[in-house]
Amino acid sequence: MDAISQLLCDVLDEVRPDASGAVADYIPQLASADPDRLGLAIIGPRAGISAVGDADAAFTIQSISKAMVFALAVDRWGPDAVMQKVDVEPSGEPFNAISLEKGTGRPANPLINAGALAVTSLIPGADIVERSATILAGFSAFAGRDLAVDEDVYRSESATGDRNRALGHLLRSYGIFTDEVDDVVETYFRQCSALVTVQDLCVMAGTLAFGGRNPLTGERVVSERSARDTVAVMSSCGMYDNSGEWLLRVGLPAKSGVAGGLIAISPSQFGVGVFSPRLNARGNTVRGQMVLEKLSERFGMHVFEAHEAVATPEVAIREDGDELRVILGGELSFSGVERVLTRLRDIDLPGRSIVIDAGGLAQVHPMAIDVLRRQVSDSDRRVRVEG
């Protein structure tokens, strides 16, 4: 077993004895889930999936689907159009609350049921079948393999879905959508019933973590902007009425589902999927949360942790007679400019022309080159940017 998998196994072993919480019991398929199942998978930018525990156990994606459908809607329509139908404010309320804006009926955010229904209504399709097919195709692109719907779970969700149906009617009464309520609500039940494993979940999370590109297949699934917006909403609203404390303590944008699945993201670093069916009172997986807390702690993954070397450009300086060539690689951020200037400080600049060779940069932040150019410019020096 490779070192990463070994480490993940250790984390699972630590949380395994905890038997607190209870499996969801609003439908028989979830009530009969094996409560001891525990699986974990992680994907980084290069080495593929590391998966341990019950890594092949299939379960329904449930509310984790809300993040992906939001990403698909933003990708299709842009953030402003989507935000006309749904706000992005943490509701501080349970997942199935009637959190609608006074007057407009706009749901508080896309990751509670009311908001998810509004977002599902934005997915194009003439009927339930077409819309569901578009969503499932989107999920499959996120996961990097063809996913299927658990028809039994779907039927149960539909048979017991009066509260969601009621939310649908409320939304329609406010004009949030004009479709038949069933077209939207049944599509939502189908999206919740997609079957996944933790391996699928980590690739889906990874696709969001790596700017909308699937780290397994290399396919662009959604735009960079859509991925960023989705991760932003996950960080403020992904854990329902526990989102604030989660962000403070764990600091990994995440989204949970009632079957016991949980995804989390470290931007540009990894996507993770975890599965453990016992839930706490807020409907989040107990051991799944513990696993992420431990990973965040051990890897220093809190999003707001300060990093010495974040976006550090590589700098090579070549002196060629009167010309000074500053060859940059990696990522030049706003703070990275400082590093380049520090390197230049010990070099005698007067009278020389400077070439900033930016061709090797993987990522340049707006303004960084401009700031650099201004810093090294003076009245009699020529500064040229290449690449």
For residue 64, the minimal CB distance to ligand GLN (Å) is 7
Active site residue 376: no
Look-up of token digits 């609203």:
237
Closest C-alpha among 307, 325, 311, 329 to residue 365: 311
> Is residue 63 a contact point for ligand GLN (CB under 6 A)?
yes
Look-up of token digits 């194009």:
124
Closest C-alpha among 192, 148, 162 to residue 29: 192
Catalytic residue among 258, 291, 315, 376: 258
Active site residue 222: no
The residue from 113, 121, 132, 230 that contacts ligand GLN (CB under 6 A) is 113
Q: How far apart are CA 86 and CA 80, in angstroms?
A: 10
Active site residue 258: yes
SS3 210: coil
* Shorter beta-carbon distance to ligand GLN: residue 230 or 333: 230
For residue 258, the minimal CB distance to ligand GLN (Å) is 3
For residue 102, the minimal CB distance to ligand GLN (Å) is 24
For residue 298, the minimal CB distance to ligand GLN (Å) is 28
Is the dihedral angle over the CA atoms 195, 197, 199, 203 positive or is it negative? positive
Active site residue 66: yes
- The residues in 146-175 that bind ligand GLN, with binding defined as CB under 6 A, are 157, 164
Look-up of token digits 């380049």:
340
In the shown chain, the binding pattern of residues 240 to 259 toward ligand GLN, with x for contact by CB under 6 A and - for none, equals -----------------xx-
> How does DSSP classify residue 184?
H
Longest Cα separation, the chain: 80
For residue 357, the minimal CB distance to ligand GLN (Å) is 51
- The residues in 178-197 that bind ligand GLN, with binding defined as CB under 6 A, are 192
Catalytic residue among 15, 132, 184, 240: 240
Give me the half-sphere count of Cα atoms (radius 13 Å) on the Cβ side of residue 221: 36
How is 247-288 classified by DSSP, letter by letter?
HHHT---EEE-TTSEEEEEETTTEEEEEE---B-TTS-BHHH
Catalytic residue among 153, 158, 188, 255: 188
* Shorter beta-carbon distance to ligand GLN: residue 274 or 354: 274
Catalytic residue among 11, 23, 52, 63: 63
Q: How far apart are CA 76 and CA 129, in angstroms?
A: 19
The residue from 29, 39, 51, 62 that contacts ligand GLN (CB under 6 A) is 62
Q: How far apart are CA 109 and CA 94, in angstroms?
A: 12
Interacting residues of 309 by C-beta distance below 8 A, sequence separation 6+: none
For residue 11, the minimal CB distance to ligand GLN (Å) is 24
> Is residue 95 a contact point for ligand GLN (CB under 6 A)?
yes
Radius of gyration of the chain (CA): 24
Q: How far apart are CA 299 and CA 372, in angstroms?
A: 33
* Shorter beta-carbon distance to ligand GLN: residue 113 or 266: 113
Active site residue 50: no
Provide the token pair at 297: 């702690």
Q: How far apart are CA 181 and CA 188, in angstroms?
A: 11
Give the count of residues interacting with ligand GLN (CB under 6 A): 11
* Shorter beta-carbon distance to ligand GLN: residue 96 or 217: 96
For residue 77, the minimal CB distance to ligand GLN (Å) is 23
Catalytic residue among 11, 65, 66, 376: 66
* Shorter beta-carbon distance to ligand GLN: residue 95 or 246: 95
Provide φ and ψ at 285, rounded to 5°. Answer: -65, 125
**Between β-strands 353-364 and 323-332, what pairing exists: parallel, antiparallel or unpaired?**
parallel
For residue 22, the minimal CB distance to ligand GLN (Å) is 14
SS3 377: coil
* Shorter beta-carbon distance to ligand GLN: residue 50 or 164: 164
SS3 52: strand
In the shown chain, the binding pattern of residues 301 to 330 toward ligand GLN, with x for contact by CB under 6 A and - for none, equals ------------------------------
| The residue type at 145 | R
Q: Which residues of the chain form contacts with ligand GLN (CB under 6 A)? A: 62-63, 95-96, 113, 157, 164, 192, 257-258, 283
Q: Which residues are designated catalytic?
A: 63, 66, 188, 240, 258
